[in-house]
Amino acid sequence: MEGTKTEKLIKVIKIAAANFLERESSGVSLITVTDVKLSDDNKHATILFTVLPDDKQKPALEFAKRMRSEFREYVKNNTKIGIIPMFDFDIDYGEKHRQRIDEISQNL
């Protein structure tokens, strides 16, 4: 039971983050939310994302980190989550590495 509750919370946060970043970003890069990591007590959530083109990764991360409190407010106003976690954003390097491995293996 607890696992599905956490999974639902992750899904809601992931969708909210994707919508928020699409709405608030300048559009010069493609930001894709790939995962949400929740603390065991659900009080902290890290939203992982990838950025294209790669040279826009640092500005996109800085932008997302600046928007943490606005995102928290967005989640409060646009979802039915009871207790809103504290949010952080980070680049999903695991996904970046997976994409690079796929690219290399296709060229073999």
5 vs 47 pLDDT, higher one: 47
Residue 98's pLDDT band, with cuts at 50, 70 and 90, is confident
2-11, 64-73, 96-105 — most confident range? 64-73
Residue 32: is its pLDDT beyond 90? Answer: yes
- 2-106 to CATH, choices 3.60.10.10, 3.30.300.20, 3.30.450.20, 3.30.390.10: 3.30.300.20
CA 72 – CA 76 distance, rounded (Å): 6
The answer to whether the bond into 59 is cis (omega within 30° of 0) is no
Where is 15: in which H helix or E strand? helix 2-24
Q: Mean per-residue pLDDT for 36-63? A: 95
pTM of the model: 0.87
CA 104 – CA 4 distance, rounded (Å): 36
